[in-house]
Chains A and B, each alone.
Chain A
Amino acid sequence: MFTPLETASGRQVTFNFDGREFTAQEGTPLAAALLGAGVSEFRSTPVSASPRGPFCMMGACFDCLVQIDDVTVQACMTPVRDGLVVKRIPRPDVSAEPHDSAPQGSENSREALRA
């Protein structure tokens, strides 16, 4: 859990994530604003639908991905502004069609090597 170091002094703005309203200091990285509000799961992975949230906070790991205006962005690199509407990346339907996962990939590679 993450808690504030001090009472916020900057301008407070409202934004929306996944249908919920949140308040944060303007300009705070979106990922920090959500972590501060107790949200640590931002998305599900396309491979196994496992939950993920911020990991590096510096734009390197791409685990904090969210969608703004239908564009996938890194929440740690996106400053909060008033009225921002943030959506979760649509959850992939992993049950319907198996992803070309690593074990299967290695079988293919095995065949390729034999060929």
Chain B
Amino acid sequence: MSRDIYDIAIIGAGPAGMAAAIEADRRGASVVLLDEQPRPGGQIYRNVGIATPRQREVLGQDYAKGDALVTALERSGAKHLSDITVWQITGTGRIAYSRKNQAEQLEARQVIVATGATERPVPLPGWTLPGVLTAGAAQILMKSGGLVAEDAVLVGSGPLLYLIAAQMVAAGSPPKAMIETQTGSDLQAAMKHLGGALRGWRYLAKGLSLIAQLKRAGVRRYTGAGDIKVLGSDRAEAVSFTWKGRELRIETDTVLLHQGVVPNTQITRSLQLDHRYEEDQRCFVPVTDTFGLSSSPIVSVAGDGAGIGGAAVAALSGQLAALGALHRLDLITNETFETSSAPILETRAKELAVRPFLDRAYPPSQQTLKPVDTTIICRCEEVTAGDIRRYAALGCKGPNQAKAFGRSGMGPCQGRYCGLTVTEILSAENGISQQETGALRIRSPIKPVTLGELAAYQEEEHA
């Protein structure tokens, strides 16, 4: 069969993917942008193109910044395939996807993976109960469901937690409490990076302003909290925790968890690209050069999927990845490549300056990195932290072996919400680095595909 061949295929229509598509199209490449959602924006700018005035008021100015990218994308000649599920990418640039229950494929000379971030796993007792969601999920519900959490308790740490809390305040539904896991010594450790933070002062000022808004709204914050448990039999009913030597309990039916975000590396791992464990952000990242080029000469990674930097950095990285791909395709000259990328590189360095401070001030909590034995760490197969420790005692060295021992990572989420935790536990138990312990291997289909879709696809293959 004949299939479409593009110069550049981009996976993910968040800030990185949109910026890459706009840049590549503008410079004459044939571009296809594939995305799961019905509208461009990614999670950060989700639905910005159809947001109501009320949603804009609640979500704030940084959300509205997505307008420019969405408009530029819509005006560009890039082909935007929305509502599709990419389930396989090969090392030769063939992309298999499903659209309206039909499997299709296309080919690209260069591929830019811009699949963003997912919430870091937050394995706490009770985190699988209905009524417990990620804080990011609560924000998505504001953008995409027109809903706000009521009397919710926010648990965890990180700048996003303050943003979401402030958005809830703006929506007239402030959180009942914030149970925060970062400690005074985390802040102290972060202070040596204050210089960088001051270069990124806009981020710092925004964070301080959010915290001030929460204070004005009377939101109760418990910082340095530990031993956090969500209680309830069939759904969340309360959160218990220790704070300043006291045991506290707050009644709530909605608990929103957040311990920062981590790169979504499902596609990059399925492509068997080189990855490394990033100590500062405590997660695996694909190994890339300045322009996002991975260990494959045809695959670049842009945005949070290559390391957490936030939306502004993601858009700049998307542009840089596009310039790199255009250059490799000989669609731009050496000179254009260099003169166009220099100012973007400079801006990106400034935008990234605050990161080391944030990474140290808001680290994942010890409780979630080293969950107690009874805590479920694999939500799909209900494998506990104790199970993983037992496998370690039996000689299990890595997450792929642990999967064979006890199914962690074998369920439908394919390790998205247990993989990092399994690596952390095995690394601690065996006394070997996270890098050496490694990450789960990911195989296609990276998202579920029906047998009917697969069968139709195979027919096409042999036709």
Contact = CB atoms under 8 A, between A and B. Distances in A.
A106 B141 contact: no
Interface string B136-178: 1100111011111111000000000000000000010100000
B145 A41 contact: no
B137 A102 contact: no
B54 interface: yes
B164 to A, nearest CB: 13
B130 A5 contact: no
B413 A61 contact: yes
B394 A113 contact: yes
B417 A54 contact: no
Contacts of B264: 60
A1 to B, nearest CB: 5
Given A29-B145, A109-B405, A61 B253 contact: no
B368 interface: no
A102 B412 CA distance: 17
A52 B132 CA distance: 9
Contacts of B234: 41, 51
B118 A5 contact: no
Contact of A53 (B130, B382, B417): B130
A1 B38 contact: no
Given A51-B235, A109-B391, A113-B395, A57 B146 contact: no
B390 interface: yes
Interface string A1-45: 111111011000000000000000101110111011000111001
B137 A56 contact: yes
Nearest to A9: B52
Contacts of A103: 387
B380 interface: yes
Nearest to A77: B36
Interface residues of B, number: 59
B254 interface: yes
Contacts of B395: 113
B383 A102 contact: yes
B275 interface: no
Given A6-B54, A106-B394, A57 B148 contact: no
A72 B380 CA distance: 15
Nearest to A30: B145
Interface in B305-339: none
Given A28-B145, A32-B141, A61-B413, A53 B380 contact: no
Nearest to B139: A57
B407 interface: yes
B381 A47 contact: yes
A45 B133 contact: no
B118 A60 contact: yes
B109 to A, nearest CB: 28
Contact of A3 (B36, B132, B150, B235): B150
A63 B147 contact: no
A25 B134 CA distance: 23
A32 B143 CA distance: 11
A57 B137 contact: yes
Given A32-B147, A79-B38, A106-B390, A40 B382 contact: no
A58 to B, nearest CB: 6
Nearest to B116: A58
B128 interface: yes
A2 B150 contact: yes
A4 B254 contact: no
Contacts of B173: 3
B130 A51 contact: yes
A61 B146 contact: no
Q: Which of A2, A6, A71 has the most CB of B within 10 A?
A: A2
A28 B54 CA distance: 17
B384 interface: yes
B382 A48 contact: yes
A41 B253 CA distance: 12
Nearest to B54: A6
Given A47-B382, A55-B379, A106 B406 contact: yes
Report, nearest first, the 9 A-B pairs whose CB atoms are least far apart: A32-B145, A53-B130, A57-B137, A62-B412, A2-B147, A40-B130, A57-B140, A102-B387, A47-B382
7 contacts: A32-B146, A35-B141, A52-B130, A61-B379, A102-B382, A109-B405, A109-B406
Given A45-B382, A53-B130, A61-B413, 5 more contacts: A2-B148, A40-B235, A57-B134, A59-B36, A77-B36
